[in-house]
Structure 1
Amino acid sequence: MSASDINRLFLQAIISRHYMSDELAKVLCKKAIEAVSMIRSAVVYNPAFFDTLVVQVNESLEPLGLEFRTIMNEEDGKRVWALVNNKGDEISQMATQYSSQEIAFFKQLVDQIMLAPNESFSITSLAALREVNHLPVKSNMTKSQAEVVLGSFVTRGWLLKSASGRYSLSARTIMELQPYLKSTYEEETLECTSCMEIVTKGVACYRPNCKVRFHLHCYSRYRTPKCPTCSTEWTRDRLNKVGEDATLDDRPPRRKQSAHQSSEGEEEPEEEDESPPPVKKEGRKSKRKARSSQDTDEEDEAEAMDPKPSRRRG
């Protein structure tokens, strides 16, 4: 058996897919072994061989600045794999699928998701579409076109869309853009106390200033009823939420000052709310007062314009 043949077949399979589940990755490994076995004798698949194959494949990918990396999905706690770029601006790897304008739109979405208040790490559909107006480059993208691009981001696994219509980062984006997220959003990036991976959905210690955060699947394996850092007594009901469930209000995400500044160095003003102000309903009495005051004003104005002195009634 030639180990290089198995490596080559497995490498071709992951390059054609880029992102896959743990089950599919192991199926592809088995298929590579079976294909080589048809020509010459091959080893029987086992988990240890899969781990060895991943190491060998990554050695082949290292000169290209690529890596076959794994992470646990925050949604269901299942392991996923992806072929990721280790060099340069990681978002640039989307250029094979999207235009520069669409990549700029995606970066704006990531920016607003990472800067969302209350550690909610999610934005509404309306807020996502508004980002078309904040693109750093001149854009002719319409709201209708933005909706199509958003759907493409979800379909290809770059973003998640919840049942309530909020957008958040997917496991693929977190894994492939991990260096970019940690360097660009150093203060906003949260790490799981258990697995040390980025957290955008999970639970947090409710004690102020405590930095402990857990993925839900990591917390399910944590058996100690105390915070590992501040030793506060824990109950599941009292833990704070991280992710969409942490959304307490509709305040818009803040913007990094360096992202949107004028030529004088001043930050651009936030987009004003175009909705009309609430109309206060007036009762009959208030309407009568308004009418009587209006009549009085009109009489005063008429007297001021009339050169003849007004007659007083006896």
Structure 2
Amino acid sequence: MVQAGDVRKLFLQAVFSRGVLSENLAKVLWKKCIEAVKAADEDVEVSYSNDPEIWDEFIESINISLNDLDFEFKSIQDELDGKKLFAMVNRKDDELAQLATDYNGVEITYFKAVVEQIILARNESFSVSSLAALREVSAGKEKINLTKSQAEILLGSFVANSWLLRSKRGRYSLSPRSLLELLPYIKSTYTDDIIECTICHEIVTKGIACKRDNCKARMHYHCFETYRRRHPNCPACSLNWPQNVTDNGLLPVGELAIRDGDDGSRQTRGSPDSDSDEEMEDEPSHTQTKSRQTQRSQAAKKTGKSRNVDSEEESEDKDGTDEEAEDLPPPKQRK
């Protein structure tokens, strides 16, 4: 017998077969599930609505049904364009369970090593070069049983499956899928190494930072734009801020923050940013801070970001399969 609850079951089946969904695509799937149930029994009391509150109630009902399974249908805003994305998230943080269906133990170990270098990247760049990523095959305490060629293919697979982003400069960073599905692992493993947005309190790997020494203000691009429309000053130190992200007066967080030589040696957890067991460069903290500001201003060149998330057009595919991701426009250029 067809019931209204079957909409939820169909929706979960559709979601589990995908990675990251745009909010629009998720709503299209919800509508299609309702239509399928109504087609089976038109007397079932269920209907589609564009009302945001009805959508929120449906998501809440989904998550209530998933409580005992330690899963959650969770949303995040894309760090580059601010669009809302959804994914099914395993709330357990002890293992990278989401990767286990596609990768073996050695491959997951390598993925974790690359993620660590992304998180620990110097100067809040939260990205690594291709060479630095390949170096992780033999640079860790335990050698990973992969050749450089195998690691290169594996990196391509991580990008194709939306676990990592690869920019046009060839740098790897965390994807929306990783920030959603692996966030419990990232937060529990790198508690002292991640930074949070001053406005939305979510993790920031691409965005802006206040240029004043020792100020802790960090924001996503979209959070800055929303905040700056009403407030002229930094919320942490009250420094007068520029009107736009493209104006001078802000520091980048993410790939634009990279400096020459930042990938020259690998970072290890628990080591200061300017000191490590493996030939790190020494600079006085004041000099390092000033250099960071100068270098970040110079680094503000166009850089492409690739992303691998479901696009809204995917909902029109007859077979329901995901399209390949396309490059996003680069973050706004800083002068």
TM class by smaller structure: 0.7 to 0.9
256, 265, 268: which one aligns with 2:269:
256
- The one-letter code sitting in structure 2 at the alignment partner of 1:129 is L
Q: What pairs up with 1:1-314 in 2 under 5 angstroms?
A: 2-38=3-39, 39-41=41-43, 42-46=46-50, 47-135=52-140, 137-222=142-227, 223=229, 224-235=231-242, 236-251=247-262, 252-256=265-269, 270=278
Deviation at 1:136, TM superposition (A): 5.2
Residue by residue over 1:241-284, the C-alpha shift from the partner in whole angstroms, topping out at 9 and shown as x without a partner, is 100001122223411259xxxxxxxxx95389xxxxxxxxxxxx
Residue by residue over 1:6-51, the C-alpha shift from the partner in whole angstroms, topping out at 9 and shown as x without a partner, is 1111111111114211111111000011111112243233233221
Does the 8 A contact of 1:76 with 1:217 survive in 2?
Answer: yes
Cα distance in 1 for residues equivalent to 2:184 and 2:38:
39
Deviation at 1:5, TM superposition (A): 1.1
- The one-letter code sitting in structure 2 at the alignment partner of 1:188 is D
Which structure would you say has the larger RCO, counting Cα contacts within 8 Å and 6 or more residues apart?
Answer: 2
Deviation at 1:56, TM superposition (A): 0.9
- The one-letter code sitting in structure 2 at the alignment partner of 1:198 is I
Cα distance in 1 for residues equivalent to 2:141 and 2:54:
48
Residue by residue over 1:222-248, the C-alpha shift from the partner in whole angstroms, topping out at 9 and shown as x without a partner, is 221210111111124111110000112
- Relative to structure 1, is the Cα distance of residues 248 and 135 closer, same or farther in structure 2, using a 3 angstrom cutoff? closer
| Equivalent residue, structure 1, for 2:289 | none
Deviation at 1:138, TM superposition (A): 5.0
Normalised to the residue count of structure 1, the TM-score between the two structures is 0.79
Does the 8 A contact of 1:113 with 1:253 survive in 2?
Answer: no
Farther off after superposition, 88-97 or 68-77: 88-97
Cα distance in 2 for residues equivalent to 1:194 and 1:219:
8
- The one-letter code sitting in structure 2 at the alignment partner of 1:250 is G
- The one-letter code sitting in structure 1 at the alignment partner of 2:42 is R
Does the 8 A contact of 1:203 with 1:213 survive in 2?
Answer: yes
SS in 1 for 2:96: helix
Does the 8 A contact of 1:104 with 1:135 survive in 2?
Answer: no
Unaligned runs of 5+ in 2: 281-335
**Which has more radius of gyration?**
1
Cα distance in 2 for residues equivalent to 1:271 and 1:213:
29
Q: Number of residues paired by the alignment? A: 263
- Relative to structure 1, is the Cα distance of residues 271 and 94 closer, same or farther in structure 2, using a 3 angstrom cutoff? farther
- Relative to structure 1, is the Cα distance of residues 132 and 212 closer, same or farther in structure 2, using a 3 angstrom cutoff? same
Unaligned runs of 5+ in 1: 259-267, 273-314
Does the 8 A contact of 2:89 with 2:181 survive in 1?
Answer: yes
- Relative to structure 1, is the Cα distance of residues 239 and 88 closer, same or farther in structure 2, using a 3 angstrom cutoff? closer
| Equivalent residue, structure 1, for 2:288 | none
Cα distance in 2 for residues equivalent to 1:27 and 1:115:
38
Cα distance in 2 for residues equivalent to 1:91 and 1:213:
28
- The one-letter code sitting in structure 2 at the alignment partner of 1:247 is I
Cα distance in 2 for residues equivalent to 1:138 and 1:112:
16
Deviation at 1:89, TM superposition (A): 2.0
Cα distance in 2 for residues equivalent to 1:138 and 1:238:
43
Tell me how large the CA RMSD over aligned residues is. 2.0
| Equivalent residue, structure 1, for 2:310 | none
